[in-house]
Amino acid sequence: MRKNLLGQKKSHLVADWNALERVFIRPENEATRITLVKYMEQILFGLHEFLNKNVGITEEISLKELSKNFTDTRIGKHPEKKLADVITDIVKEIAPHAVNVASPYFVGHMTSAIPFFMVHLKTIVSALNQNVVKLETSKVVSVIEKQVIAKIHRLIYNMNELFYQTHVQNTTTSLGCFTEGGTSANLTALWVARNAAFPPKNGFKGIEIEGLSAAFRAYNIERAVVLVSVRAHKSLKKSGGILGIGNQNVIAVDVDDRSRIDISLLKQEIRQLKKDGKTKIIAIVGIAGSTETGSIDPLREMAEICKKNDTCFHVDAAWGGPTLMSEKYRHLLNGIELADSVTIDGHKQFYMPMSCGMLYFKDPSIMDLMAYHANYINRRGSVDLGIKTFSGSREANSLILDSALKIMGTRGYALLIEHGIEVAADFAEEIESRENFELVTKPVLNILTYRVFPKQLKKEHEAGDDDQKKAINARLNEINRIVQQVQREAGNSFVSRTAFKMKKNPNEQMVVLRCVMMNPMTNMSILKDILDEQEKIYLDWDAGKLKNKGRSRTY
Ligand SMILES: *Cc1c(COP(=O)(O)O)cnc(C)c1O
């Protein structure tokens, strides 16, 4: 048999009709079937073996070294490799240099292990290759999408049975949509809010048609703003740019000591904005599970403020939304049912493969504000899902989510979510009990931040004046940067790093370590190992025993 592994002599593969027929036509004989099954085995188990190895991001080979192997920019005229060899190369040569996000020691980001069955479901979606942009390329899958959207809508809003019977398969209304991720879900939410803030009126055809300056003229204003907290995800600022209101008009209000939007500052900001009568607040965004700290804004109070000010209330629950499946903790999201729209990510706490976002609306008709009817694609009154989404062609993620919900049940997901929340609480306690650490943000959900804070410096900090405190903070920032970097490069575990503005002095920053507990295999013994390793790195560095300290980042 001809082999074509890296470094071996190339076989003479040719692109001809014979070869094309082989890749397009279904396998007909037993031999072909066996080969294809063998490839699937290679994918499932070859990669699984890699993902089971206990490594985070190793720096065994730096990205710079690695990138030297990827500089050829020519596309071969003739085939270079057969499928089996391509798969072998990826499993053997590429995967080991990817990031093992499935490791229980990988607790730094919102990307983690996924249930094994997700790979099967993703494969089905590829094999069926439905395009949900329109009914003619998806049929039943569009209907399933409407159903699963109604299921999640029910989880959020819990309207009555008649409401769901009326809308679940209604071709003129929509309870929400699938998007690429949380970013495009947030963008879509603010797009709808913007259009709702500048609807058509005598002679003015609406902002979607006439644009921003015509809208400002028609409504006699000079500026449109969105209010968020300083913990808001970057996607909201980006949306400000894309929607033309300007990203500086996505205004970040400071938070209280629990990382939640400060309600009195929010009210103050609104009063300020309303003074000259030239500013329109198009939306206020509450966060249910902030990316950095997992904090949840006071949603009920925010909803009231929105109502009073006649503005849209959007909740970004990209991370925290699935907490609604836990009977024990769903109360943390109280008030979410008052939101006009809610973002939830599928690839986060629904444990779906990359990538899947969703957006839900309380008002089943509000998406009419962004409906587009292209004659050749979507006709009015059809159920074509592409009419009311930002994206055009897209995959049938609803099949994955719907199947996952059947396999897991809300109780299955609740177990995962409760595990994360409870491990985070125990971890916080462990951090507080260690003299060389400081817990910075206490977890509400399954995210927390902390920093290495050596006991000697704690004493000095306590006794110091403002200048000394500032100097100690700068030193702590340095320590925590080094600890995070050295730990990451050692490749046994991974926590991430972020920085908060200091309350007293916005020019000063506090560097913190950030952990996200979503892998069900992450337990206290692993988390203690991670703290032990960090403490050792600090002590070695402090004793001058660390080589490579502070060397430039390699990626
Ligand atoms: C992850 C996240 C987003 C962005 O979602 P993507 O899927 O990465 O585009 C937005 N908001 C919050 C709170 C998030 O955690």
Q: Indicate which residue's Cα is closest to atom 3 of ligand 1.
A: 182
Alpha-carbon gap, residue 68 to 71, rounded angstroms: 6
Query: Is the pLDDT assigned to residue 525 strictly greater than 60?
Result: yes
The tokens for 99 are: 């990031």
Residue 464 confidence (pLDDT): 95
Inside any domain, residue 400: no
Pick the closest to residue 132 from 180, 173, 195, 191 (CA basis). Answer: 180
In 171-328, beta strands by DSSP E:
176-179, 223-229, 250-253, 279-287, 312-316
pTM: 0.94
Mind listing the pLDDT tens digit for each residue in 178-233? 999 999 999 999 999 999 999 999 999 999 999 999 999 999 999 999 999 999 99
- Atom from ligand 1 closest to the CA of residue 289: 13
pLDDT confidence tier of residue 57, bands split at 50, 70 and 90: low
Ligand 1 centroid vs 357 CA: distance in angstroms? 9
**Do 65 and 165 fall within a single domain?**
no
Query: What CATH number does residue 454 fall under?
Result: 3.90.1150.170
Alpha-carbon gap, residue 215 to 243, rounded angstroms: 13
DSSP 13: -
**Do 96 and 137 fall within a single domain?**
no
Q: For residues 288 and 316, is the Cβ–Cβ distance under 8 A?
A: yes
- Which residues, listed in sequence order, are joined to residue 177 by a DSSP beta bridge? 359
**Do 414 and 349 fall within a single domain?**
no
Ligand 1 centroid vs 233 CA: distance in angstroms? 6
**Do 184 and 290 fall within a single domain?**
yes
Q: Ligand 1 pocket test: which of 186, 239, 291 has the largest number of ligand atoms within 8 Å of its C-beta?
A: 291
Q: For residues 298 and 326, is the Cβ–Cβ distance under 8 A?
A: no
Inside any domain, residue 251: yes
Query: Is the pLDDT assigned to residue 241 strictly greater than 70?
Result: yes
**Do 221 and 338 fall within a single domain?**
yes
- Atom from ligand 1 closest to the CA of residue 181: 7
Q: Indicate which residue's Cα is closest to atom 10 of ligand 1.
A: 182
Residue 63 confidence (pLDDT): 80
**Do 171 and 292 fall within a single domain?**
yes
Inside any domain, residue 5: no
Mind listing the pLDDT tens digit for each residue in 149-170? 999 999 999 999 999 999 999 9
Alpha-carbon gap, residue 345 to 365, rounded angstroms: 22
Inside any domain, residue 553: no
- Atom from ligand 1 closest to the CA of residue 345: 7
Ligand 1 centroid vs 168 CA: distance in angstroms? 27
Radius of gyration of the chain, Cα coordinates, nearest whole angstrom: 26
Q: For residues 116 and 407, is the Cβ–Cβ distance under 8 A?
A: no
Q: Residues with Cβ within 6 A of ligand 1?
A: 110, 181-183, 186, 233, 235, 287, 289-291, 316, 318-319, 345, 357
Inside any domain, residue 185: yes
- Among 329, 360, 395, the domain boundary falls at 395
- Among 395, 425, 449, the domain boundary falls at 395
Residue 551 confidence (pLDDT): 44
**Do 313 and 445 fall within a single domain?**
no
Q: At what angle do helices 455-463 and 466-490 cross, to 10 degrees?
A: 160
Query: Is the pLDDT assigned to residue 258 strictly greater than 60?
Result: yes
Pick the closest to residue 376 from 362, 386, 366 (CA basis). Answer: 386
Place of tokens 């370590």: 513
Inside any domain, residue 281: yes
Ligand 1 centroid vs 502 CA: distance in angstroms? 24
| Higher-pLDDT residue of 83, 338 | 338
The tokens for 443 are: 């977890």
Phi, psi for residue 349 in degrees, rounded to 5: -85, 10
Domains in the chain: how many in total?
Answer: 3
Residue 414 confidence (pLDDT): 98
Inside any domain, residue 357: yes
What is the span of the domain harbouring residue 33? 17-100
Ligand 1 centroid vs 88 CA: distance in angstroms? 33
Inside any domain, residue 500: yes
Q: Determine how many CB atoms are found less than 10 A away from the CB of residue 459.
A: 10
Q: What is the largest CA-CA distance in the chain?
A: 81
